[in-house]
Chains A and B, each alone.
Chain A
Amino acid sequence: MSRYFTEEHEWIDVEGEIATVGITDYAQEQLGDIVFVELPAEGTTFDKGDDAAVVESVKAASDVYAPISGEVVESNSALEDEPALVNSDAEEDGWFFKLRIADTSELEGLMNEAAYKKFVASL
């Protein structure tokens, strides 16, 4: 399994044709206490860059973009009852949705963990 990162602070785990998407620990830290996550319905298709989810902190609503194109095969229903999972475990149990990848070449421009760490350090 490989993990990729975007400059919009999302992580993507790729296993076969399925990509699991979440926001990074840095992102949840920036957002603060998360009180609601609006997730896409199964079967929704996204082009890379589409608004895919909304994460609501106490203070503000923020969009989460589809980091790559694909079709939603599952959303993390655990976040409905416990949105704070995104704060406590952003990069594992706090995942947002799974996509069936439409075009694997879109993964090519993304960062690996070392590159993302360097990117965050530069902010």
Chain B
Amino acid sequence: MSGTQDATHFEDLPLEALPLDAWHRARGARMVGFAGYHMPIQYEGIMAEHSWTREHAGLFDVSHMGQLTFSGEGVDDALETLLPSDIKGLKPFRQRYSMLLDHEGGILDDLMVSRPGDGAFEGAAIYMVVNGATKYDDIGWIIEHLPDAVVMNHMADQALLALQGPQAGEALAALIPQTADLLFMQSGLFTWRGVPLWISRSGYTGEDGFEISIPADDATLLADALCALPQVKPIGLGARDSLRLEAGLPLYGHDLSPAVSTIGADLGFAIQKRRREEGGFIGHARVMKELADGPGFKRVGLKIEGRLPAREGATIHIGATQVGEVTSGGFAPSVGAPIAMGWVSLPHSAEGTALEIEVRGKRIAAEVAPMPFVPHRYRRKA
């Protein structure tokens, strides 16, 4: 047998250990190399962990992600040059999904940006979370485009934990009752056993949940306290991937890359009206052109007939013509069938379009499907 592990390899660098490394191993995690770190791919099994998260609450260690802060004179202006999203209108304790674009409008990374309050992160004006595999490239790009008056700080000594699932709210409230008031994409500074926690109500599973930034030295204590609750189990990267795929959320480096654009990726919601009209951000021309003329290709969901999964790299066809490619795919535990995400040329991207996907020389039937595949259950109202 030979397997292919779906992970980003930093071939020449030894893998580093994250703050919870020993904690994962003590809980029987199978560790793999991902984004330059040893990370848990699974504990008891991907299907069981996936279902647990959909029914209860799962704890994910996402400390590989890059946590950045920005301060200084003109920080909002500087970030509005770098990001296509409305930063000036971002209120304290609010978070937004955004991305870094290159000069051609290609996607360099997708990210979360928020405005702290209550003096969190030493009074920084902006807090940003970027992908682990791209963080050093992001930092280089950002520094290159920041004016001298704006200071970026990479908080390598902060861990990041995500608590996700329909019981995440009651679980976190058992430790920190005040978190019950947070709504989707809101955040706040909380204190737990004297430790400052920056918590946002957001995540990457389609479920209600939180992302918790915590000093690395205190991460084990919090992970232990959360997993001591009856609702919470640790969940690995494998289930994180199947959960986000069902939620229709793109994964950078797979569904998104410098070769594709925001509008094609169906992420235009991240570019608010004022920013579209006024521009002034890197990559604006591509956005405006594609809003007017349409993108060449679009990111779509794909429903697959039968049980054979179509995976990243599988080509998509209509008759003799290749019209696209699968960028993520696999068996969806909550759907009970294989699903995929891919890019298809615009004329064939409408929901319900019948397509064929080639897997090991065989054509399997597929159809462009609405996303998410499993409804989002964010907590938007009190």
Q: Chain A contact residues: over half helix, strand or loop, or mixed? A: strand
Chain A residues with Cβ under 8 A from B47's Cβ?
Answer: 32-33, 58
Binary contact readout B282-313 vs A (1 if CB under 8 angstroms, 0 otherwise): 00000000000000000000000001110100
Partner of A38, one of B1, B3, B360: B360
- Given contacts A36-B309, A38-B360, whether A58 and B46 have CB atoms under 8 Å apart is yes
Check B330 for interface membership: any CB of A closer than 8 A.
yes
Do the beta carbons of A61 and B1 come within 8 Å of each other? no
Determine, out of A40-48, A62-70, A99-107, A114-122, the stretch whose residues face the partner at the interface: A62-70
Q: How far is the CA of A30 from the CA of B30 in the complex (A)?
A: 9
Q: How far is the CA of A36 from the CA of B50 in the complex (A)?
A: 18
Check A111 for interface membership: any CB of B closer than 8 A.
no
Chain B residues with Cβ under 8 A from A23's Cβ?
Answer: 1
Q: How far is the CA of A61 from the CA of B47 in the complex (A)?
A: 16
Q: How far is the CA of A38 from the CA of B307 in the complex (A)?
A: 10
Do the beta carbons of A62 and B360 come within 8 Å of each other? no
Check A13 for interface membership: any CB of B closer than 8 A.
no
Check A35 for interface membership: any CB of B closer than 8 A.
yes
Q: How far is the CA of A65 from the CA of B307 in the complex (A)?
A: 22
Check B331 for interface membership: any CB of A closer than 8 A.
yes
Count, chain B residues at interface, CB 8 A: 24
Binary contact readout A4-27 vs B (1 if CB under 8 angstroms, 0 otherwise): 000011100000000000010001
Q: Least Cβ distance of B10 to chain A in Å?
A: 20
Q: Least Cβ distance of B50 to chain A in Å?
A: 8
Partner of A62, one of B3, B46, B50: B3
Chain A residues with Cβ under 8 A from B309's Cβ?
Answer: 35-36, 56, 61
Chain B residues with Cβ under 8 A from A33's Cβ?
Answer: 45-47
Chain B residues with Cβ under 8 A from A30's Cβ?
Answer: 3
- Given contacts A32-B238, A56-B331, whether A8 and B307 have CB atoms under 8 Å apart is no
Q: How far is the CA of A122 from the CA of B242 in the complex (A)?
A: 32
Check A110 for interface membership: any CB of B closer than 8 A.
no
Chain A residues with Cβ under 8 A from B3's Cβ?
Answer: 30-31, 60, 62
Check B241 for interface membership: any CB of A closer than 8 A.
yes
Q: How far is the CA of A61 from the CA of B4 in the complex (A)?
A: 7
Do the beta carbons of B333 and A55 come within 8 Å of each other? no
Q: Least Cβ distance of A10 to chain B in Å?
A: 7
- Closest A residue to B42 by CB, please name it: A32
Check B144 for interface membership: any CB of A closer than 8 A.
no
Binary contact readout B311-350 vs A (1 if CB under 8 angstroms, 0 otherwise): 1000000000000000000110100001000000000000
Q: How far is the CA of A63 from the CA of B3 in the complex (A)?
A: 7
Q: How far is the CA of A31 from the CA of B45 in the complex (A)?
A: 10
Chain A residues with Cβ under 8 A from B238's Cβ?
Answer: 32, 58-59
Check A54 for interface membership: any CB of B closer than 8 A.
yes
- Closest A residue to B5 by CB, please name it: A60
Do the beta carbons of A59 and B1 come within 8 Å of each other? no
Q: How far is the CA of A63 from the CA of B46 in the complex (A)?
A: 20
Q: Least Cβ distance of A68 to chain B in Å?
A: 15
Do the beta carbons of B308 and A56 come within 8 Å of each other? yes
Partner of B330, one of A54, A55, A59, A65: A59
- Closest A residue to B336 by CB, please name it: A35
Chain B residues with Cβ under 8 A from A31's Cβ?
Answer: 1, 3
Do the beta carbons of B307 and A27 come within 8 Å of each other? no
Q: How far is the CA of A35 from the CA of B306 in the complex (A)?
A: 11
Check B6 for interface membership: any CB of A closer than 8 A.
yes
Q: How far is the CA of A10 from the CA of B217 in the complex (A)?
A: 44
Chain B residues with Cβ under 8 A from A38's Cβ?
Answer: 308, 360
Instruction: List 26 A-B pairs, Cβ < 8 Å.
Output: A8-B2, A23-B1, A31-B3, A32-B42, A32-B45, A32-B47, A33-B47, A35-B309, A36-B307, A36-B308, A36-B338, A38-B360, A55-B1, A56-B308, A56-B309, A56-B331, A57-B46, A59-B238, A59-B241, A59-B330, A60-B6, A60-B311, A61-B4, A61-B311, A62-B3, A64-B1
Q: Beyond the given A58-B238, A59-B46, please list 18 additional residue pairs across the A-B interface where CB-CB is below 8 A.
A: A10-B1, A31-B3, A32-B47, A33-B45, A33-B47, A35-B309, A35-B338, A57-B46, A58-B47, A58-B330, A59-B5, A59-B6, A59-B238, A60-B3, A60-B4, A60-B311, A61-B309, A64-B1
Closest 7 CB pairs of A and B: A35-B331, A33-B47, A62-B3, A58-B46, A36-B307, A62-B1, A8-B1
